[in-house]
Amino acid sequence: MTERIPGFATLAIHAGAQPDPTTGARATPIYQTTSFVFDDADHAASLFGLQTFGNIYTRIGNPTTAVLEERVAALEGGTAGLGVASGHAAQVLVMHNLLTPGDEFVASKKLYGGSINQFNHAFKNFGWNVVWADPDDITTFERAVTPKTKAIFIESIANPGGVITDIEAISNIARRAGVPLIVDNTLATPYLCKPIDHGADIVVHSLTKFLGGHGNSIGGMIVDAGTFNWSREGRYPMLSEPRPEYQGIVLHETFGNFAFAIACRVLGLRDIGPALSPFNSFLILTGIETLPLRMQKHCDNAKAVAEWLAAHNKVAWVSYPGLAGDRYHALAKKYCPKGAGAVFTFGLKGGYDAGIKLVSNVKLFSHLANIGDTRSLIIHPASTTHRQLSDAQKTQAGAGSDVVRLSIGIEDKDDIIADLEQALSA
Ligand SMILES: Cc1ncc(COP(=O)(O)O)c(C=O)c1O
């Protein structure tokens, strides 16, 4: 008999987890320990030499986090995952595997403002040079590629503008350039979109948002699709050259289609150190168990709110790819057929001042700098998350002065709409 492949909701609850072998605990225990006792000296030596898989020290791996890693990798359809302290840490570890000083990567200019900052400032200090391209003109990606390009980075649904990126078209450009495509799938989650099915080689997440889903823990994840040939042309020496500290083993040769995730762990986490707390892993795992239920409700509520706003006389425009007339509607139907996510922007006819007034008058919505909580959230990006960017960058990132960003929660939709109604007429 062929083995049944579990469905998404089943994987969200079970992937990676077993009853605890010692106690029988059914929920994954929180292994709140820094370190793990070796069986004997040979066992210790083989763990340190990467000859045996096992636990050494929580900076490099932890059994609670291991369940989370396996679960997110299963949901994304990847070969392995690596949990880290935040979404931003995931991006650092990915690029640390790929780039050496002087190298370049091409990134969509429609990205979360924090990623634009990270790439423009911190990454530049590491000698990793970003070249921006426009997801609304795919040819700009092709033109941005040079012999120094080592990767392409995009978001599936871009924060905050409700932009859906054409993953397959950009994946084809990455293939022709011989570089991996990295997709930040934070806003979509694998419930709405699975970038690996569309040609992504690496998926990154801020677990802080919809995957954890309850606004209580910061975390990040790297998922290795297992698709990229790291040894071709020797362009990725971290993976294709012998590692002196591990008796000369070549990570790609030894670990095959999960070598990228291993390199992020045994070189990235080991040396850079942004480990995920086991307690956060536990909370995020619990959140993921209800991901399909929550995401569908988030999307259904978001569509209802977007439709209501689009008909409101104080609203100039609404950018939600789930709306029939939206410029990204066709891409949303292709990449996110179950719903276009729950984060979107709209513009107020009253501009900057009206935006400030709205965020000051909401009662059910929380005015704060996060997305992907059960609760409905609101922010005026130009005065907060995107304030460090120049006016041109703000506009490019979909965060002009009249823009308000919503992250629609899973409360009753009539209550969400009633709160916006009272705040808009206040
Ligand atoms: C799309 C996206 N990617 C990455 C990040 C960074 O994640 P973290 O805050 O967990 O570092 C965020 C945070 O808002 C985000 O929205």
Mean pLDDT across the stretch 218-235? Answer: 96
**Ligand 1 atom 15, closest CA:** 112
Tell me the pLDDT of the chain averaged across its residues. Answer: 96
- Reference 71, options 278, 221, 294; nearest CA is 221
Mean pLDDT across the stretch 22-47? Answer: 97
Could you tell me the domains of the chain? 8-287 (3.40.640.10), 291-425 (3.90.1150.10)
User: Ligand 1 centre from 30 Cα, in Å?
Assistant: 24
**How confident is the model over 44-102, as pLDDT tens digits?**
999 999 999 999 999 999 999 999 999 999 999 999 999 999 999 999 999 999 999 99
- Mutational pocket test of ligand 1: of 157, 159, 284, the residue with most ligand atoms within 8 Å of the beta carbon: 159
* pLDDT class of 22 with cuts at 50, 70, 90: very high
**Residue-level pLDDT at 393:** 76
d(CA 417, CA 301): 9
d(CA 203, CA 185): 7
**Ligand 1 atom 7, closest CA:** 87
> Does pLDDT of 396 surpass 90?
no
pTM: 0.97
Mean pLDDT across the stretch 237-253? Answer: 96
**Ligand 1 atom 16, closest CA:** 112
**How confident is the model over 332-383, as pLDDT tens digits?**
999 999 999 999 999 999 988 999 999 999 999 999 999 999 999 999 988 8
Backbone angles phi, psi at 136, to 5 degrees: -85, -10
Question: Does any ligand 1 atom lie closer than 6 A to the CB of residue 405?
Answer: no
Who wins on pLDDT, 387 or 66? 66
Mean pLDDT across the stretch 4-11? Answer: 95
Residue with tokens 């029939």: 324
d(CA 346, CA 319): 6
User: Ligand 1 centre from 87 Cα, in Å?
Assistant: 5
Which of 11-25, 120-134, 371-385 is the least confident region?
A: 371-385
**Residue-level pLDDT at 1:** 61
Mean pLDDT across the stretch 212-219? Answer: 98
State which amino acid sits at residue 95.
Answer: M
Residue 414: Cβ within 10 Å count: 10
Mean pLDDT across the stretch 128-146? Answer: 97
| Nearest ligand 1 atom to alpha carbon 385 | 14
**Residue-level pLDDT at 282:** 98
**Residue-level pLDDT at 81:** 98
**Residue-level pLDDT at 64:** 98
* pLDDT class of 162 with cuts at 50, 70, 90: confident
| Nearest ligand 1 atom to alpha carbon 159 | 1
